[in-house]
Structure 1
Amino acid sequence: MLRRIDSAIISAENSKLQSDLDTDYAALGDKLARQDIDIETLTKAAGEFQIAVPSWGTGTGGTRFARFPGTGEPRNIYEKLEDCAVINELSGCTDSVSPHFPWDKVDDFSELKQQADEYGIKWVSVNSNTFQDQPGQAVSYKYGSLSNTQAASRELAIQHNLDCIEYGKQLGAKSLTVWVGDGSNHPGQQHFQRAFERYLASMEKIYQGLPDDWEMHIEHKMFEPAFYSTIIQDWGSNILAAMQLGPKCKSLVDLGHHAPNTNIEMIVSRLIQFKKLGGFHFNDSKYGDDDLDSGSLHPYQQFLIFNELVDAEYRQQSEFNPAYMLDQSHNVTDPAESLINSAIEVQRSYVKALLVNREKLYGYQDDNDALMASLELKNAFNLDVSPILAMARLRKGAAIDPLSVYRSVGYRASMAEARPRDPNATGSGIV
């Protein structure tokens, strides 16, 4: 397998830390054994956990005002793939990439797939972009795409999504994620029902183009760029559309796309119950769609979400196979470092949720013992599972301390030389 970081370097760095890790792991194993929990079962689950990296997340994000490019940023999908390979080599839990079109479109997808195969990277859900006009575009998305009042704009957006499906088929992906910025910025600007009807009619044409073994994931967002009303503004509109379109259409939950203080874990439960949970875009939020590093602000909320996901696993609920992906904007950090750290934090939430004694929790719930039920969750959340995560990485040949290895090899500095920035390139926009 082709590697960006020499495995011998990772092994050498791991050897310096393994003795302390073995000690910490044994101590945690003894502690868990007193609770009749097998640490090896948890470590195996941690090793099997995977979350996809967004291709666009490997570059520096932008705001509505400006973008400040970082050094050594990837300039195309091949270079994005290189960074994704590094992230996986060090974290051991990001073996797949989610591409975004037309940003990641290439002339020869077989060549791109071959490159990914050599890195041991898979392709997952493909993402369409109808929220901005592309150079030379015949009609505009200024007033919407799939719900635009003009048929020509709708047809262009539909065809783009169908093209994305074809690109994804060549890469081996199995789902299409659709997010649109359609909506309105002034009261009276848009007829709510007619706009939603146009959206559903457009989505029906895309749905018909799905292969039999594919899913379509609808992403909702309450605002931006439409600040008064948005076509798919919350999970209610999302699941209504998904139910209307058919069994291959499910809802995608982005943690930053909800009103403040929304009970996201309950929404997850509802979507699981009605077999409409397609997947996640993990990030964190303070005010809105901030796209901050996962778990950086609300780690307990992230844990509570995984409590619902692990509960569905435990109950073996049908049609439960959500896709996990990071979706973040890195403005002041090295994107690779943030993605490594975020992937591990999501993995941490998953492992902590596995610590919950389901039968005890159900008993407390049935007895209406609110305090003990809450403590069952808090006890799991408060346990430091870092030795489990580190051991899982060690056994997979990844790094015990990923960020330390990343910095020691000087990857970003070497990329700064290999990927010189075009001085004439714009300083605004999204990578």
Structure 2
Amino acid sequence: MILDKSLIEQHNEKQSALHQKKLDTLTAVLSDEGHSVNAILDKIAAFQVAIPSWALGTGGTRFGRFAGGGEPRSLEEKIEDVGLLHAINQSSGAISLHIPWDIPQNAKAIQQLAASFELKFDAVNSNTFQDQQNQDLSYKYGSLSHTDKGVRDQAIAHNIEVIKHGVDLGSKALTIWLSDGTDFPGQQNFRRAFQRTLDSFQQIYAALPDEWKVFVEYKPYEPHFYSTVVADWGSSLLFCQKLGEKALGLVDLGHHLPNTNIEQIVSRFLMEGKLGGFHFNDSKYGDDDLTVGSIKPYQLFLIFNELVEGMQSAEVNNPELSWMIDASHNIKDPLEDLLQSVEAIKMAYAQALIIDRKALEKAQAENDVTQAQEILQNAYRTDVRPLLAQARLQAGAALHPVSFYRESNIREELVKQRGAKAFATGL
């Protein structure tokens, strides 16, 4: 579906007067506080969040999937959907593919299609947590950590194949989420499982092109419930330090036990120059993959507080970060959910940009706990949505993305084009 940009202009025209009032009020306040609003707008506009191909269809649970209509049935249609999102918000300028769900049959044609929507290819993701059709050996008892060298070799070869697909598309990174682990005590030797995994990682690392990175994701549990090989940020960091400078940790906000201090983890990764990027989502009980900012918006802000401080600090030497959503739910329109998630991410980023850094550092140096809290919460409680809307307006996007999406009946149009029982591939 190609979006008629004149519809965005009509939407913005109807909303412009109220938007301008809100923007003028916020601009006056921020200017009085010493902020350059134009500089903030430039940073907001430049901040792009990649969309994963698997989030474009309705997800589900092990109990069932309640798919909606008009979902993308092919890689081409997934790219079209991300193109739609980017046209609406001008903040979703990249797509992240999952192999083998999204193997391009003609890489050049896929590249051209993505370019027509002004999209790039973010990190490519491997999959050794499922057995695929015509696969010789099973990953039931692990992949890169398996006791059988043949299984490990098969998983290594898959990751190297994913790298090759990424090279063909212009990607620059490989993300590995390893589900390997155990369900019962005594099932495996922890030390040897780690060493086997490290050996597998090293072979994949050796296949990386010079300018590439590998992101090592971690998760404390699921699908295995006694142990996971890459269970936490410490394990991820340890693997990365052993592998080399191209290896970086990837933080999925859902991959933590309840009440984990994720912002402190982010700070540690930054301190070591080993933070690769994020899979943004939200959770209530476990790895729920809910809409970003729907459950813990203040935690998201605190994470961005650490990120902005680290990105601005001369003491931190960390590579450029990769930002991506990783959501999977079973009741919302996936495109509406993604629009909401991008908005929540950029809102937390904008709030972190208006923190009074000098005042915060002074309060921290003087152990003024109350003032430090006041400074953070003043930024968090500031309604920065007019800044996000203005950045979109200047870029030719919609002032209110979800409202525009609904006014334009986009899901209804997709159902007409693809059918009421068109379900996304790969999920």
Does TM, scored on the shorter chain, surpass 0.5?
Answer: yes
SS in 1 for 2:284: coil
For the 8 Å contact 1:312–1:320, the answer to whether it is kept is: no
Distance of 1:236 and 1:406 partners within structure 2: 41
Distance of 2:113 and 2:89 partners within structure 1: 20
For the 8 Å contact 2:283–2:289, the answer to whether it is kept is: yes
SS in 1 for 2:249: strand
Distance of 1:396 and 1:148 partners within structure 2: 49
Distance of 1:150 and 1:328 partners within structure 2: 33
Distance of 2:417 and 2:147 partners within structure 1: 46
Q: 1:178 maps to what in 2?
A: 176
SS in 1 for 2:113: helix
SS in 2 for 1:100: coil
Post-superposition Cα deviations, 1:74-122, rounded to whole Å, max 9, x if no partner, equal 1111111111111111111110011000000022111111100111000
For the 8 Å contact 1:275–1:319, the answer to whether it is kept is: yes
Amino acid at match of 1:336: L
SS in 2 for 1:212: coil
Give the CA deviation at 1:422.
6.0
Distance of 2:336 and 2:2 partners within structure 1: 15
Q: 2:297 maps to what in 1?
A: 299
Give the CA deviation at 1:38.
2.1
Q: 1:195 maps to what in 2?
A: 193
* 1:89 has 2:87 as partner: yes
Q: 1:226 maps to what in 2?
A: 224
Amino acid at match of 2:375: E
Amino acid at match of 1:346: I
Distance of 2:403 and 2:139 partners within structure 1: 44
Q: 1:414 maps to what in 2?
A: 413
SS in 1 for 2:60: coil
* 1:58 has 2:61 as partner: no
Question: Unmatched 5+ residue regions in structure 1?
Answer: none
Give the CA deviation at 1:45.
1.3
Give the CA deviation at 1:318.
1.7
For the 8 Å contact 1:51–1:343, the answer to whether it is kept is: yes
Quote the sequence identity (%). 45
Give the CA deviation at 1:262.
0.5
Distance of 1:64 and 1:284 partners within structure 2: 19
Moved more, 274-283 or 18-27: 18-27
Give the CA deviation at 1:330.
2.5
Distance 1:422 1:332, change over 3 A: closer
SS in 1 for 2:61: coil
SS in 2 for 1:101: coil
Amino acid at match of 1:111: A
Q: 1:372 maps to what in 2?
A: 371
Q: 2:145 maps to what in 1?
A: 147
Distance of 1:119 and 1:249 partners within structure 2: 30
Give the CA deviation at 1:16.
0.6
Give the CA deviation at 1:357.
1.1
Distance of 2:117 and 2:90 partners within structure 1: 13
Distance of 1:241 and 1:279 partners within structure 2: 16
SS in 1 for 2:245: coil
Alignment of 1:17-416 (within 5 A): 17-316=15-314, 317-416=316-415
| Number of corresponding residues | 426
SS in 2 for 1:177: strand
Distance of 2:161 and 2:147 partners within structure 1: 22
Question: Unmatched 5+ residue regions in structure 2?
Answer: none
Post-superposition Cα deviations, 1:293-314, rounded to whole Å, max 9, x if no partner, equal 0000100000000001100122
Note the aligned Cα RMSD (angstroms): 1.4
SS in 1 for 2:178: coil
Distance of 2:412 and 2:154 partners within structure 1: 41
Amino acid at match of 1:394: L
For the 8 Å contact 1:272–1:320, the answer to whether it is kept is: no
Distance of 1:307 and 1:90 partners within structure 2: 27
SS in 2 for 1:329: coil
Please list every run of at least 4 consecutive aligned residues from structure 1 whose deviation after the TM superposition is greater than 2 angstroms: 420-423
Post-superposition Cα deviations, 1:251-305, rounded to whole Å, max 9, x if no partner, equal 0000010111000000000000001100000000101100000000100000000
For the 8 Å contact 1:277–1:322, the answer to whether it is kept is: yes
Amino acid at match of 2:388: L
Give the CA deviation at 1:430.
5.5
Distance of 2:426 and 2:142 partners within structure 1: 19
Distance of 1:29 and 1:240 partners within structure 2: 45
